[in-house]
Amino acid sequence: MGASATEPVTAESLRERVDGFLAGHDTAQDRLEFLRARFDAGLAWVHYPAGLGGLGAPRVLQPVVDQRFAAAGAPDNSPRRIGIGLGMAAPTILRHGTAEQRARFLRPLWTAEEVWCQLFSEPGAGSDLAGVATRAVRDGDGWLVDGQKVWTSMAHQARWGILLARTDPAAPKHAGLTYFLCDMHAPGVEVRPLRQATGEAEFNEVFLSGVRLDDGLRLGAVGEGWAVARTTLMNERVAIGGAALPREGGMIGVLARTWRTRPELRTPALHDEVLRLWVRAEALRLTGIRLRQQLAAGEPGPEGSAMKLAFAALTQQISGTEVELLGAEGLRHDHWRADRPEELDLTGRGPTYRWLRAKGNSIEGGTSEVLRNIVAERVLGLPAEPRTDTGVAWKDLPR
Amino acid sequence: MGASATEPVTAESLRERVDGFLAGHDTAQDRLEFLRARFDAGLAWVHYPAGLGGLGAPRVLQPVVDQRFAAAGAPDNSPRRIGIGLGMAAPTILRHGTAEQRARFLRPLWTAEEVWCQLFSEPGAGSDLAGVATRAVRDGDGWLVDGQKVWTSMAHQARWGILLARTDPAAPKHAGLTYFLCDMHAPGVEVRPLRQATGEAEFNEVFLSGVRLDDGLRLGAVGEGWAVARTTLMNERVAIGGAALPREGGMIGVLARTWRTRPELRTPALHDEVLRLWVRAEALRLTGIRLRQQLAAGEPGPEGSAMKLAFAALTQQISGTEVELLGAEGLRHDHWRADRPEELDLTGRGPTYRWLRAKGNSIEGGTSEVLRNIVAERVLGLPAEPRTDTGVAWKDLPR
Amino acid sequence: MTLDLRYTEEQEALRDSVRAMLTDHAGWARVLQVAASPEPDDADLWRLLSVDTGLAALAVPEHLGGAGASLAETAVVLEELGRAVAPVPYLGTTVAAQLLLHLGEDELLRDLAGGAIIAPAMPCDVGPAGPGARLPDVEVSTAADGSPLLNGTVCGVADASRARVLVMPAGGALFAVDADAAGLRRTPVVSLDETRPLCDLAMWNAPARLLAAGERAASALDAALVAGAALLASEQLGLAQWCLDTTVAHLRTRYQFGRPVGSFQALKHRLADLWVELVQARAVARHAVAAVAAGDPDARLAAALAQAHCGPLAVRAAEECVQMHGGIGFTWEHPAHLYLKRAKSAAIAYGTAAHHRTALATLADLAPA
Amino acid sequence: MTLDLRYTEEQEALRDSVRAMLTDHAGWARVLQVAASPEPDDADLWRLLSVDTGLAALAVPEHLGGAGASLAETAVVLEELGRAVAPVPYLGTTVAAQLLLHLGEDELLRDLAGGAIIAPAMPCDVGPAGPGARLPDVEVSTAADGSPLLNGTVCGVADASRARVLVMPAGGALFAVDADAAGLRRTPVVSLDETRPLCDLAMWNAPARLLAAGERAASALDAALVAGAALLASEQLGLAQWCLDTTVAHLRTRYQFGRPVGSFQALKHRLADLWVELVQARAVARHAVAAVAAGDPDARLAAALAQAHCGPLAVRAAEECVQMHGGIGFTWEHPAHLYLKRAKSAAIAYGTAAHHRTALATLADLAPA
């Protein structure tokens, strides 16, 4: 470890660094050049190591930098568009990657030159991710990959994918996996849009047929894929988006406004339901504020899981109540076009869209059922269920 | 089997038999003599065999007989007081007992000369009844029993108990059990009242210390106790009490009357809750009517389990809402005396008593959790959970 | 009055034959195809249900070309149609038939029994829990020959897109309007539930025929709306039963963690609870149609109760179906979303559960605070 | 205003010391013993909390003998008292202190800081959601010497059984009444929650001292009731946390079917859901006391929100605790029933969740239909 020769980074010193950077770089210059320069100055993600876009600073200081750049009107790296890269691929590469891999991938990832996608879920392996069947077989100095992935957002735009594949079917399920960085431009990668109940195709199916990957694209050791994937998943769950909303800032605001402005729609028996939802929404909002205060004070807790669970249930119920409040009007849909939205707007489009889309909130990013298991075992310390699938060769498991 | 020489029993012929019996027996005579005579005439439980209080008639015809006797003002056998004997001990003895056991026990059971209790549950074996630890050890031509039972209603008045005990701890849990008829007057049987959250002691703990039981009190073969106990449990769940209630006949009626007659207590936000409970209560009442119509038509179904589950949840919520509706007044209790009630009156005493007592509805007679398992597996056909406790010697199980 | 809440043997036989027919002719791939097409419903299936089998006029008397059965049989057909989310205007036609029976409109009933679609021309959320308040303003004027003309807009009408005749409440009276009449325009609505899509009606001096006015019109409309709410409960029951059955079947064969997913206790308990609600829904739905069929004074309360219970149940069943199928249940290629959308549209049709609870406050004498 | 919803290090230290004290002096066997005795509360424990440690006057300024801390600290003590279902009149005394602070009654505050119990003399369900409507009629007359006399009955008062002084709303004003005064009788009530039992007050010409009248009395009373509702949420939070912790501990060690019962998924999911509610309750309860302590204009809304959420949560937590303990949780010999009864009595104190939701309809501008 050794004591660093440099001063410890503080909010004040960061502000100075940003101001210095801005003095030397015109925010109106070429977007990509600006972002590359910001990365090279260690002002991309300040908690990353020097040389990889950061300064080894505390993570909680990142907002200081982001706010300073935003206030100066600097171009950003479309953080929502590259969310998978930022939130999942990057921390995994940082932790498990070789020096070459870090140097090759992190910069274009952060500057949004290269979009990433996640090739984990399969038709037969959803909640049970460690059951993936996509095979990767040694082929000289590389690997041949065959299989099918699903629920892959951004696959149609992605340059790279983080890929979990089975390299040893005779090993127990968790032991036979290896983690790869998949070249989405490689021959044999086919991306097909996957349409949802909303009519949209936010996600894709990805078919991998004899896809050849160089061994340099393996992340972590052969057979260590599960441990690497856990880094990815842990980071998926940590992410808490954006700033705290004001009161009625989310979906509840839409319902409350409809209730207020359309008295002719009100039904007496629905009044208490609206009040109950308002209470729950405000309780959840305050929970988010408290969680952010804890994170800012360097006291991370497991409350993010509570927020995801509560958020999924609440958005489903608020939007469902809104549709019923609207009556016949609530049964009108805007369109069933198979759009390919890149950003999810939970209060966008109409009530029926919101209601349908919210159904996905308890499935994507870990189902609410899996999340409840995790809360019960890791937060509350309740015992695991007896497992029948962990000591057996993967190929011999019933499926 | 062979064809019976007698006429098939019909509702009409039953009515005639009852009328004939009543012509020869004064309803004002000695109660016990009357009941014994009714038993001997085969008019006790008409679906039991001739000679054991019945006529081998269809079970659905029993109400014909009961109503006729009731209309004539005949004494009854206090069916609620001897519910365990009638509902559980009797069908088990009928099915698994020897001729001697049937002849010895069924008549005084039905006439209420001998009250029965059930010695199944133990502090360590509640939901998992097959895990009972009470030991029965061979002792010459009999058995010595040691252990502790709990939740034994009527034990303090009972002459006999149906007892599940472990005779082979080295066998797997279900295989090492034997079923006995326990003499509650035998030395070593100690009954202690068990007080509940209501303050009452409806139930007992029963301590068995070197209780000697003759081998003639064994019901079924050694090691076959679980199969015999299943007969008992199946009959426990079949029972559906009494006649259909009129609308608002149950606990909902109390709440509705309070709402109607005490307008000063009403809170706007509580109105919809009262309406929702009213809907659920009426739905459950109609479900009971439909189930009785099906039973009367000889089409028994699994809906009784639905009724027990819904009833438990509903009574808990109705009584809870009633207490809140009453506000400070709802926090007044009548008394905390350790009474020993023999009959349960769910709409009796005050609101706080009702609310507390209703909490027991989802625990007694099989918890709601166990009942949901049964519904999921036996009604819906969902697969059982992997079992870790069935192939192992009972004594080696973790507990 | 004690109403029989069981199914008769004949009704069970009817169910079997309808289910067999729908299995052959309304598999979900076909339903999805029709829903995604510009067609508002499945004309072939409707021909089968009306012209070929007479199921669409089960409760129309035989002398008018119907089957002379009761609403209790109609409800069994609706259970199966709900189970199949069949895209046919069966419910609207049945409600129209009830209206016409009340009014003694034999000729229209004969048309209906012959396969013509006749639909009540009201927003789909109008129910017996207070329809007047939600009926749109349609003005009645008089043509030179003294016959009535209608002017106005009615939005969100179900089952009317291919109707031949519309039964329209206007100015406190009821009118029959030829759907092809000059002066009437139907505009399809992009609907949440494309298996029972809505359309908007616009009228400029549309020629109409007076069916009834005043108290007679009001009581016929009210009775038909009570019947509609009662019958819809059976559709919801059938839909919920499909969702439960399909979810159970999926969970028995889907393996995760080396076990059938259906062996996980949390899911088992939720499905057991759903079954508990479904058992009650069956009693409540049968009670509602029995009460309506018998002209029981309790029919209005029974219908409100049925919607208060069965509407939310069907939505919950469909939601659990989607959730327990995981990702696959959220795709366009799996039928679950069709059931989800139908359940929600049915929860609004003939009044929401909240409307019906509000009505029950009066019917059950539970006044507000 | 951004309020800090976290606990400070000092508050965590305070929690540790209070918990240690209650573990030693208010174990549940002791609580059950006091509850079952004729004594309304635990006089020894009260002495410990008031005279010995000064915890009962945390939020009273130092120059009046208190600790000069804020309601945020008081709330931490209440969490621990809720966790222990401690039978002491802490909440009522705290609310009385708030009243007296608003009125500048320094002498009474000094008494209170010295260990005297001072209680608001109102039915326990009176809350800020509309207290006036529920306040009983107490008549004020005048003695020969011009001092006020009170006449009337107040039923269901909490924390007053051993109070030395009662603060009584009457005729739109506030009075101090010596609890031992001739003309005042206290009758104990057999209470659902014997850890916070009620009593009835009857007055015949009870001599009183006027504290405030008119707007000044009304606003002091209102502020104290808002504080009471906000503070109670912390007691409910602590109670719910005990129920969750105790249930988890039981399920980890209780074996059935050869497995710890806590490994059964249906129970795990229910407890996970309960934890999700509890996490939110913490934010909501901290927000309420922070808003009250800061004099935030949002305090009234924050208190209503806290009661709307935390009241039902505590009841649910206690109910799950009983249910998941199975038979043993339903016995007199297990502490679960004490928590169940306290949770229900707390759900009514200072107004039910339904009262608070009704208040929120106004506070959040969500008018009824």
Cα–Cα distance list, D56 to D61, D73, D180, D339 (Å): 12, 11, 22, 22
pLDDT digits (tens, 9 = 90+) for A133-158: 999 999 999 999 999 999 999 999 99
Q: In D, which residues are within 8 Å of A272 by CB distance?
A: 354, 357
| Token output for D338 | 């004490």
Q: In D, which residues are within 8 Å of B368 by CB distance?
A: 323
Distance CA D9, CA D15 (A): 10
Q: Which of B256, B270, B382 sits opposite C271 (nearest CB)?
A: B382
Which of A151, A194, A255, A331 to probe the C interface (max C CBs under 10 A)? A331
Closest CA to B305 of B380, B247, B244, B357: B380
> What average pLDDT does the segment C193-198 reach?
97
Distance CA B365, CA B371 (A): 9
Distance CA B89, CA B239 (A): 13
Task: Mark yes or no for CB contact D266/B369 under 8 Å.
Answer: yes
Catalytic residue among B113, B190, B236, B303: B236
Domains of chain C, residue spans: 221-363
Q: In D, which residues are within 8 Å of C264 by CB distance?
A: 265
Confidence category of residue A6, pLDDT binned at 50, 70, 90: low
Give the DSSP letter string of D289-323. Answer: HHHHHTT-TTHHHHHHHHHHHHHHHHHHHHHHHHH
Task: Mark yes or no for CB contact B356/D340 under 8 Å.
Answer: yes
| Token output for B69 | 């006797």
Phi, psi values for residue A139, rounded to 5°: -145, 90
B 193-212 near D (Cβ less than 8 A): 194-197, 199
Which residue in the block uniquely carries the two structure tokens 């998949």?
A: A182
Catalytic residue among A113, A114, A190, A236: A236
Distance CA A91, CA C346 (A): 47
Whether the per-residue pLDDT at C351 is higher than 90: the answer is: yes
Confidence category of residue A241, pLDDT binned at 50, 70, 90: very low
Whether the per-residue pLDDT at A287 is higher than 70: the answer is: yes
Q: How many CB pairs under 8 A join A and B?
A: 21
Spatial neighbors of D311 by CB under 8 A, at least 6 apart, are D233, D236, D346, D347, D352, D353, D356
| Token output for C159 | 């089952």
Task: Mark yes or no for CB contact D191/B332 under 8 Å.
Answer: yes
Domains of chain A, residue spans: 1-76, 116-238, 251-366
Domain at C221-363, CATH class: mainly alpha
Q: In A, which residues are within 8 Å of B273 by CB distance?
A: 272
What's the sign of the alpha-carbon dihedral C329, C332, C333, C336? Answer: positive
- Is C175 in a helix, a strand, or coil? strand
Q: In B, which residues are within 8 Å of C248 by CB distance?
A: 380-382
C209-212, strands of its sheet edge to edge? C118-120, C165-170, C173-178, C209-212
Residues of chain D with pLDDT under 70: 1, 130-133
A271 touching B (Cβ < 8 Å): yes
pLDDT digits (tens, 9 = 90+) for C237-288: 999 999 999 999 999 999 999 999 999 999 999 999 999 999 999 999 999 9
Closest CA to C80 of C45, C125, C116: C45
One digit per residue, pLDDT tens: chain B, 399 residues?
334 456 788 899 999 999 999 999 999 989 999 999 999 999 999 999 999 999 999 888 898 999 999 999 999 999 888 989 999 999 999 999 999 999 999 999 999 999 999 999 999 998 899 999 999 999 999 999 999 999 999 999 999 999 999 999 999 999 999 999 999 999 999 999 999 999 999 999 999 999 999 999 999 999 999 999 999 988 765 554 445 789 999 999 999 999 999 999 999 999 999 999 999 999 999 999 999 898 888 787 888 899 999 999 999 999 999 999 999 999 999 999 999 987 777 788 999 999 999 999 999 988 999 999 999 999 999 999 999 898 899 999 998
B50 touching C (Cβ < 8 Å): no
Q: For residue B265, which amino acid is it?
A: L
Distance CA D240, CA D248 (A): 12
A380 touching B (Cβ < 8 Å): no
Distance CA A369, CA A373 (A): 6
A386 touching C (Cβ < 8 Å): no
pTM: 0.95
Q: How many CB pairs under 8 A join C and D?
A: 10
Distance CA C310, CA C303 (A): 10
Task: Mark yes or no for CB contact B293/C360 under 8 Å.
Answer: no
**Closest residue in B to D129 (Cα–Cα):** B267
Q: Judge contact between D356 and D347, C-beta under 8 A.
A: no
pLDDT digits (tens, 9 = 90+) for C22-62: 999 999 999 999 998 999 999 999 999 999 999 999 999 99
Task: Mark yes or no for CB contact A271/D368 under 8 Å.
Answer: yes
- Is B205 in a helix, a strand, or coil? strand
Ramachandran region, residue D146 (left: φ > 0; alpha: ψ -120 to 50; beta: rest): left
Whether the per-residue pLDDT at C131 is higher than 90: the answer is: no
Q: For residue A12, which amino acid is it?
A: E
The whole-number pLDDT of residue D132 equals 44
Whether the per-residue pLDDT at C160 is higher than 50: the answer is: yes
**Closest residue in C to D268 (Cα–Cα):** C266
Q: Which of D265, D275, D286 sits opposite A385 (nearest CB)?
A: D265
Q: Which of D267, D279, D357 sits opposite A276 (nearest CB)?
A: D357
CATH architecture of B116-238: Beta Barrel (2.40)
Task: Mark yes or no for CB contact A268/B269 under 8 Å.
Answer: no
Spatial neighbors of A363 by CB under 8 A, at least 6 apart, are C323, C326, C327, C329, C330
Q: Judge contact between D255 and D261, C-beta under 8 A.
A: yes
Closest CA to C152 of C162, C141, C160: C141
Cα–Cα distance list, A120 to A153, A166, A230, C171, C326 (Å): 11, 11, 12, 62, 15
**Closest residue in B to D342 (Cα–Cα):** B331
Q: For residue D368, which amino acid is it?
A: P
Q: Judge contact between A362 and A368, C-beta under 8 A.
A: yes
Subunits in contact with chain B (3 or more CB pairs closer than 8 Å): A, C, D
Closest CA to D299 of D100, D122, D108, D98: D98
Distance CA C200, CA C152 (A): 11
Task: Mark yes or no for CB contact D348/B330 under 8 Å.
Answer: yes
Q: Judge contact between D204 and D151, C-beta under 8 A.
A: yes
In chain D, % of residues over pLDDT 90? 96
The whole-number pLDDT of residue B6 equals 63
H or E element that contains D259? strand D259-260
Confidence category of residue A296, pLDDT binned at 50, 70, 90: confident
Distance CA C124, CA C228 (A): 11
Output the 3-class SS for chain A.
CCCCCCCCCCHHHHHHHHHHHHHHCCCCCCHHHHHHHHHHCCCCCCCCCCCCCCCCCCHHHHHHHHHHHHHCCCCCCCCCCCHHHHHHHHHHHHHHCCHHHHHHHHHHHHCCCCCEEEECCECCECCCHHHCCCEEEEECCEEEEEEEEECCCCCCCCCEEEEEEECCCCCECCCCEEEEEEECCCCCEEEEEECECCCCCCEEEEEEEEEEEEHHHEECCCCCHHHHHHHHHHHHHHCCCCCCCCCCCCHHHHHHHHHHHCHHHCCHHHHHHHHHHHHHHHHHHHHHHHHHHHHHCCCCCCHHHHHHHHHHHHHHHHHHHHHHHHHHHHHECCCCCCCCCCCCCCCCCCHHHHHHHHHHHHCCCCCHHHHHHHHHHHHCCCCCCCCCCCCCEHHHCCC
The whole-number pLDDT of residue A240 equals 47
Give the DSSP letter string of C101-116. Answer: HHHT-HHHHHHHHTT-
Give the DSSP letter string of C131-148. Answer: HHHH---EEEEE-TTS-E
The whole-number pLDDT of residue D318 equals 98
Q: How many CB pairs under 8 A join B and D?
A: 143
The whole-number pLDDT of residue A2 equals 39
List beta partners, residue D188.
D199
Q: Which of A269, A270, A388 sits opposite B386 (nearest CB)?
A: A388
The whole-number pLDDT of residue D320 equals 98
Provide, for chain D, the percentages of residues in helix, strand and coil under a 3-state DSSP scheme, each rounded to the nearest 5: 55, 15, 30
| Token output for C365 | 């004498």
B236 is known as an active-site residue = yes
Domain at B251-366, CATH class: mainly alpha
Q: In D, which residues are within 8 Å of A303 by CB distance?
A: 279
Task: Mark yes or no for CB contact A279/D308 under 8 Å.
Answer: yes
A313 touching C (Cβ < 8 Å): no
Q: What is the CA radius of gyration of chain A?
A: 23
Cα–Cα distance list, C153 to A266, B211, C111, C136, D37 (Å): 22, 86, 26, 7, 73
The whole-number pLDDT of residue B243 equals 58
